[in-house]
Structure 1
Amino acid sequence: MLPWKRVLRPLTALLLSAAAVTLPATAAHADTAPHSGWNDYSCKPSAAHPRPVVLVHGTLGNSVDNWLGLAPYLKARGYCVFSLDYGQLPGVPVFFGLGPIDRSAAQLASFVDRVRSATGVAKVDLVGHSQGGMMPRYYLKFLGGAAKVGALVGIAPDNHGATISGLTKLLPYFPGATDLVKATTPGLADQIPGSAFLTKLNAGGDTVPGVHYTVIATKYDEVATPWRSQYLSGSDVHNVLLQDLCPLDFSEHVLVGLSDRIVFHEVANALDPAHARATTCASAFS
């Protein structure tokens, strides 16, 4: 084995494990099995919450495990909630979001149309974690999604790439390493800062007209780093640092999407700004 491959293998393992180590391996997925009422295609949005919420998991997540906390939280507050699996690689079960991100965005486009058709609405709202907060921007910008989406809420989204605490900066020192990542896990390669995908996504501005954007970041993020790179620039953007809401919240990249009820409270505010209530440390008990 070439010496650089001895280094690359553990580096790749770290890339792959950044989210997976905290996710249970669930065999069933929300698109095919009911889970506390979400992905209920008979759900009809209420006057209070007229747009269904589509949840978009992160890299190595799936439509169930990523949303065991947030989906019931939103469902209990009267939302029609849906989630999808995307970015599947052949022969890789459970852990998704690894395929080319432009193709994943096309899968999201198809899923949104399915939800719109079933619920009879013109627009949905999107809430995504990690890659799931960034990938929908491709859908909005290049696949006609802006006309079908009211709001995009990104929880720890890697909008300008993920250095994984600087690990991706080591790739150029190992000839062929980047090509290997592209060949085996193109969805990871697309998230490396400076990739062709991210260059295209962010060219000409971060946002598109007609969509309200919210970014919720944590300064303890170890994946979508540096954490300020998660923020978006645009006329209808609300960038939020979790620790400005609750200085005592030490959640990192994975926990902010999986179980942080302070984050969930702020997501609810973003989905219904007309009835927003201040998010504080006490929101963990709301």
Structure 2
Amino acid sequence: MSTAPRDPDHRRNPPLPFTEPQGDHVTLPWKRLRRSLAAGLLLAAAFTAAPAAAATAPERTAAVSSGWNDYSCKPSAAHPRPVVLVHGTFANSVDNWLVLAPYLVDRGYCVFSLNYGELPGVPVFKGLGPVDKSAAQLGTFVDKVRSATGAGKVDLVGHSQGGMMPRYYLKFLGGADKVNALVGIAPSNHGTTLSGFTKLLPYFPGIENLLNEHTPALTDQVVGSPLMQKLNAGGDTVPGVQYTVIATQYDEVVTPWRTQFLDGPGVRNIRLQDLCAVDLSEHVLAGTTDKVVFHEVANALDPAHATPTTCFS
């Protein structure tokens, strides 16, 4: 059951600055949507570039030696499923999880993370390739983790695109039989309008063509894109998987923020500010450093032993 209300018209009535009326419905022209995405993700890149640049080889080695991405790890009876962490757009398998991965390892989980959506000639920044191809890469990685650990199923935790893209794997690539739960932190489940960032485009001549040519994941995440239409046609969820969505009302990248929520059985939608009213985390901080979010992630992974999440969690 959802813990926060969902806007029932969010897919029909996005914010007016991005819409053109057509009868009783409102649609988003594809060309204008791509402009919106390009400008908005420039700001997302600015938020993530600094930590991403720090994802060097020594840090990757440290991650393994601390028990994260340790393929000798065997799940315990208390935590029988490995946790696979799925980073967001522009991030990578290290920078997105420098806090959450050790947090879960300390709680006895076998934790793994992957790089996906890599493009030729683009170092450090991942999650840029087509979403359907990235979902296939996730499927290959899940099979690798299952084989190494002997686990029948895994749990997935993803941030931003990493909370949405696994739904493609679950729905179209056989992932539902291999996944117990999907926890999405600020996921782009129904795409994004990216607020009013289209107004920035005139200040960056040529940036739209550059982004559209080199980063197909961006246009895939626009409201109304062919990928979004396919992903959400016939329902948001698949049977047998437990879904948790944690959204922040201060999200400035996946907008409107309520569109992150899912409809369907086995879904729990959470507004971060219902857990801690004074939590001001926006899109990036919610997925990278917010311990209130991480406590709720731990609850979602082990609901039988969940404890109340508060500002002091």
TM value normalised by structure 1:
0.89
2:56 equivalent in structure 1: 27
Equivalent of residue 296 in structure 2, options 243, 246, 266: 266
Distance 1:37 1:280 in 2: 28
Higher relative contact order (CA 8 A, sep 6+): 2
Change (3 A) 1:258 1:204: same
From the superposition, tell whether residues 10 and 212 of structure 1 become closer, same or farther in structure 2 (CA, over 3 Å).
Answer: closer
Letter in 1 for 2:286: V
Is the CA contact 2:176–2:238 (under 8 Å) kept in the aligned structure 1? yes
Structure 2: runs of 5 or more not aligned: 1-35
1:168, 1:192 within 8 Å by CA — same for their partners in 2?
no
Among 65, 73, 83, the alignment partner of 2:103 is 73
How far the C-alpha of 1:33 sits from its partner, in A, is: 6.3
Counterpart position of 1:3: none
Q: 2:220 aligns with which of 190, 204, 209?
A: 190
Residue type of the partner of 2:265?
S
Distance 1:261 1:15 in 2: 21
**CA distance in structure 2 between the partners assigned to 1:47 and 1:125 by the alignment:** 15
Once the two structures are overlaid, the 10-residue window that deviates more, 89-98 or 8-17, is 8-17
Given that residues 89 and 96 in structure 1 are in contact (C-alpha distance below 8 angstroms), is that contact kept between their aligned partners in structure 2? yes
Q: How does 1:1-286 map to 2 (within 5 A)?
A: 13-14=42-43, 16-21=45-50, 23-28=52-57, 30=60, 34-167=64-197, 181-283=211-313
Identity across aligned pairs (percent)? 70
In the alignment, is the contact (CA less than 8 A) between 2:52 and 2:125 conserved in 1?
no
Cα deviation 1:55-88 (Å, max 9, x = unaligned): 0000011001100000000000000000000000
Deviation at 1:25, TM superposition (A): 2.9
Instruction: From the superposition, tell whether residues 12 and 234 of structure 1 become closer, same or farther in structure 2 (CA, over 3 Å).
Output: closer
Using a 3 Å threshold, how does the CA distance of structure 1 residues 10 and 265 change in structure 2: closer, same or farther? closer
Deviation of 1:177 after TM superposition, in Å, equals 8.0
Q: Report the alpha carbon displacement of residue 170 of structure 1 after superposing the two structures with TM.
A: 8.4
Query: CA offsets per residue over residues 221-241 of structure 1, 9 Å max, x none?
Result: 000111000000001100000
CA contact (8 A) 1:178 1:189 kept: no
**CA distance in structure 2 between the partners assigned to 1:97 and 1:247 by the alignment:** 31
One-letter code aligned to 1:124: V
Query: Are the equivalent residues in 2 in contact too, given 1:8–1:177 (CA < 8 A)?
Result: no
CA spacing shift, 1:18–1:259, aligned 2, 3 Å = closer
CA distance 1:79–1:9, change in 2 (3 Å) = closer
- The count of aligned residue pairs is 275
Question: Match for 2:238: what amino acid?
Answer: V
Q: Is the 8 A contact 2:40 2:253 kept in 1?
A: no
Distance 1:197 1:40 in 2: 34
Tell me the residue number matched to 1:4: none
